[in-house]
Structure 1
């Protein structure tokens, strides 16, 4: 499932990041890597998603949220 389809309040684990190399490296620098737990804080109708990762909040647009494959955390 892609992060753009995530539900507010749900926790997910990043399975794959399918984005341009520059974007991928920037997200890694911000702490977003495979296996990282994230919690969706807000999911806008426009496709942008706000989520928490490693104690920080990040906001990404629809294109990036679509490139982040996640699974529900258990």
Structure 2
């Protein structure tokens, strides 16, 4: 499943990130890599997804959230 399908207040583990290369490098620099635990804080199905990764809150748009695949 992708991050856009995530449930609020549930923790997931990043499986794979399939976005543009420059976006992927930026996410990696922020600590979002395969195997990282994340917690969905807010999920607006038609907009952004806010999640917590390594103690930091991040927000990504719908297109990027669809490219971040997670495990339950």
TM-score tier, shorter chain, comes to over 0.9
CA contact (8 A) 1:2 1:65 kept: yes
**Shift in Å at residue 9 of structure 1?**
0.4
C-alpha distance in 2, partners of 1:34/1:43? 21
Name the residue aligned to 2:5: 5
Per-residue CA deviations over 1:24-74 (Å, capped at 9, x if unaligned) read: 0000000000000000000013231000000000000000000000011xx
- The question of 1:18 aligning with 2:41 is answered no
5+ residue gaps in structure 1? none
Task: Report the TM-score when normalising by structure 1.
Answer: 0.94
Task: Report the TM-score when normalising by structure 2.
Answer: 0.97
5+ residue gaps in structure 2? none
1:5/1:47 CA distance change after superposition, 3 Å: farther
Map 1:1-74 → 2, pairs under 5 A = 1-72=1-72
SS of residue matched to 1:46: coil
Give the ranges of 4+ consecutive aligned residues of structure 1 lying more than 2 Å apart after TM superposition. Answer: none
